Amino acid sequence: MSQLFAPITIRDVVVPNRLWVSPMCMYSANDGIVNDWHHVHLSQFASGGAGLVISEASAVVAEGRISPEDAGIWTSEQADAWRPITRSIRDRGAVAGIQLAHAGRKASTYSPFADGSGSVAESDGGWQTEAPSAIAYDGFAEPEAMTIDRIREVTAAFRAAARRALDAGFQVLEVHAAHGYLLHEFLSPLTNVREDEYGGSLENRARFVLEVVREVRAEAGDGVPVFVRFSATDSAPGGLTVDDVATVAGWAVEAGADLFDVSSSGLVAHQQIDAYPGYQVPFASTVRRTTGALTGSVGIITGGAQAEQILAAGDADVILAGREWLRDPHFGLRAASEHGEDPTGIWPAQYIRAHRG
């Protein structure tokens, strides 16, 4: 058996293989409530051989949505809408995960499908954004600097969202601390110029992230895996480096994190990214070797052989992909066939005739 199709056990959850679906925003919810689009969209990946399907960034407070059309998990009604989706994913043999998120200064923006760009005005359904410091993302409205009381409120909201997610049937919880959103903004010196206990040193800038991880872990209990998605670098002068993030990841292990989903960038418009197949693999490798923790690698991973090579080299423990699953919702079945895997337990029984030709 290839490493890619070997199961992995994290706490009480057994994931049947190591080819997973990254969270990808669909900008198709109504008041944070997901619908039939999300049901079909996510279920197809489970039918297509994914071991774990992580649903899109779901806001823990209304103000945490990237756009007015983003998914949410801050109300019981939103949680109820997720329940048939998680059941569908599990019924198809995969594990259901959710990414808990707050967009920070990059919230209240137009979706890619909207007639507009930049920040949505409050008069048009937008809202005042919040961030560690009152520093705007280029072209967006200026956020309000969060008070310590507000930081505590949002931390509590992450924990409450974790409870709703578990009640909705999710088996894995991921804390979003990447791509220029709120927790990433606190981590980076480019967006955090606070002078209190949440700013200054790396330890202080990491305080909010670690408090969130502790609260999510407390709600998850001992059996549920808790992941953190990090941007390993800001790809900009003076920003976070992979060594900084590896240090924070080590602290996050102590706070209760089990696996790090290692991406990069997204914080500032002047970032410089050299993107090529597997370009983010070294980041996952550094975090893995520094912390000894499980890591997931992402970034232009488009084939089973490529994914297998990353695992065989010891650079990551699992593979997450996004756009390749959009191009081919049966990416997992294709990769399994490329490796000559026995289709039993990977291919749905209803599809076996296609495997046999």
What confidence tens digit (pLDDT) does each residue in 249-306 have? 999 999 999 999 999 999 999 999 999 999 999 999 999 999 999 999 999 999 999 9
Q: Give the pLDDT confidence of 93-104 residue by residue, as tens digits.
A: 999 999 999 999
- Residue 195's pLDDT is 98
Q: Give the pLDDT confidence of 17-37 residue by residue, as tens digits.
A: 999 999 999 999 999 999 999
| Mean model confidence pLDDT for the chain | 97
Which tokens sit at 14?
């057994």
Model confidence, pTM: 0.97
Instruction: Give the number of other CB atoms < 10 A from CB of residue 122.
Output: 11
Torsion of CA 158, 164, 165, 170, to 10 degrees: 150
Which tokens sit at 1?
């058996």
User: Which residues, in sequence order, are CB contacts of 152 under 8 Å at separation 6+?
Assistant: none
Report the sign of the C-alpha dihedral through residues 179, 40, 227, 186, in that order. Answer: positive
Is the pLDDT assigned to residue 138 strictly greater than 70? yes
Let me know: does 334 contact 304? Beta carbons within 8 Å: yes
Rounded Cα distance between 97 and 226, Å, is 10
- Residue 357's pLDDT is 61
Rounded Cα distance between 343 and 180, Å, is 40
Q: Give the pLDDT confidence of 152-199 residue by residue, as tens digits.
A: 999 999 999 999 999 999 999 999 999 999 999 999 999 999 999 999
Q: Name the burial class of residue 127, with classes exposed (0-12), middle (13-18) and buried (19+) by CB atoms within 10 angstroms of its CB.
A: middle
Percent above pLDDT 90 for the chain: 94
Q: Which residues pair with 51 in a beta bridge?
A: none
Instruction: Give the number of other CB atoms < 10 A from CB of residue 176.
Output: 27
Is the pLDDT assigned to residue 144 strictly greater than 70? yes
- Residue 181's pLDDT is 98
Let me know: does 50 contact 21? Beta carbons within 8 Å: yes
Look at 75 and 115; give whichever has higher pLDDT. 75
Geometric angle at alpha carbon 118, from 98 and 155, rounded to 5°:
35
- Residue 232's pLDDT is 98
Which H, E and C letters describe the chain, residue by residue?
Answer: CCCCCCCEEECCEEECCCEEECCCCCCCCECCECCHHHHHHHHHHHHCCCCEEEEEEEECCHHHCCCCCCCECCCHHHHHHHHHHHHHHHHCCCEEEEEEECCHHHCCECCCCCCCCCECCHHHCCCCCEECCCCCCCCCCCCEECCHHHHHHHHHHHHHHHHHHHHCCCCEEEEEECCCCHHHHHHCCCCCCCCCCCCCCHHHHCHHHHHHHHHHHHHHCCCCCEEEEEECCCCCCCCCCHHHHHHHHHHHHHHCCCEEEEECCCCCCCCCCCCCCCCCHHHHHHHHHHHCCEEEECCCCCCHHHHHHHHHCCCCCEEEECHHHHHCCCHHHHHHHHCCCCCECCECHHHHHHHHC
Name the phi and psi angles at 351, rounded to 5: -105, -5
Mean pLDDT for the stretch of residues 84-112: 98
Question: What is the gyration radius of the CA atoms in the chain, in angstroms?
Answer: 19
Instruction: Provide the terminal-to-terminal Cα distance of the chain, rounded to the nearest Å.
Output: 22
Report the Cα 198 to chain-centroid distance in Å. Answer: 23
Active site (catalytic) residues:
181
- Residue 251's pLDDT is 98
Q: Which residues pair with 15 in a beta bridge?
A: 8
Single-letter code of the amino acid located at 136: A
Is the pLDDT assigned to residue 356 strictly greater than 90? no
Report the topology of domain 8-356: TIM Barrel (3.20.20)
Mean pLDDT for the stretch of residues 38-64: 98
Which tokens sit at 47?
């039918």
- Closest listed residue to residue 97, CA positions, set 267, 209, 216: 216
- Residue 344's pLDDT is 85
Rounded Cα distance between 13 and 1, Å, is 20
Q: Give the pLDDT confidence of 198-229 residue by residue, as tens digits.
A: 999 999 999 999 999 999 999 999 999 999 99
